[in-house]
Amino acid sequence: MDLHKEDDRGSAKQKKVKIVFVIGGPGSGKGTQCKRIAQQFGYTHLSVGEILRQEISSGSETGSMIQKIMKEGKLVPSDVTVRLLQQAMQGINSDKFLIDGFPRNEENVKAFEDLTKMEPEFVLYLDCPQDEMEKRLLSRNEGREDDNVETIRKRFKVFMESTLPTIEYYESKGKIRKVDAGKSVDEVFESIKVIFSQGKDYNKVPPSRHKCKCLIL
């Protein structure tokens, strides 16, 4: 990724950027927790879902395509998602990014690594039971047209089929930091604070002891 700054002699110098991905099923609390993390630990919070919705609102041809895909509960093509995410990161003068809702699948991972030549410092996984996520989505009443039972359940299915393999991928690299997101907002954040305070030394045990629990759909 072309994230750089000028040194005293005016030549381009690569800027070291720290990235943390935050993933979890729909309604697992990613947005809520990311706002708290950003405030307490000085990260720039980028929500991939919000970036995609902004593109829809722009009325562009890409936005119309994204809207159609999201209505069907499917995933937006990786090249589109990464390009929009890359544009957002390049437009902000920051060296610490908290990326919410990404990657959604293994193709996202490959596209991000190929285009940016970067990897996350670690991946925060908000592990939440499906019935709790469904209850949260149906009660939040934000006026989002994809917050209906049929679409929500499609999104759960997509999450299980597409995102869990990416969790296993990062787990094999020792980068997954999992918290129980079924608890209260404050309790979840207390667990998250431990992770961000201790950084990559947190919970450093062999990947086999970090097995993710698949959602039962």
| 74 among annotated binding-site residues | yes
| 206 among annotated binding-site residues | no
| 209 among annotated binding-site residues | no
| 103 among annotated binding-site residues | yes
| 144 among annotated binding-site residues | yes
| 183 among annotated binding-site residues | yes
| 9 among annotated binding-site residues | no
| 10 among annotated binding-site residues | no
| 102 among annotated binding-site residues | yes
| 49 among annotated binding-site residues | no
| 139 among annotated binding-site residues | no
Taking the alpha carbons of 46, 50, 56, 57 in that order, is the dihedral positive or negative? negative
| 31 among annotated binding-site residues | yes
| 151 among annotated binding-site residues | no
| 53 among annotated binding-site residues | yes
Assess whether the previous peptide bond of 103 is cis (omega < 30° from 0).
Answer: yes
Binding residues for a ribonucleoside 5'-phosphate: 53, 74-76, 101-104, 144, 155
Annotated binding site for CMP: 108
- Residues of the binding site: 27-32, 53, 74-76, 101-104, 108, 140, 144, 155, 183
Residue list, annotated binding site for ATP: 27-32, 140, 183
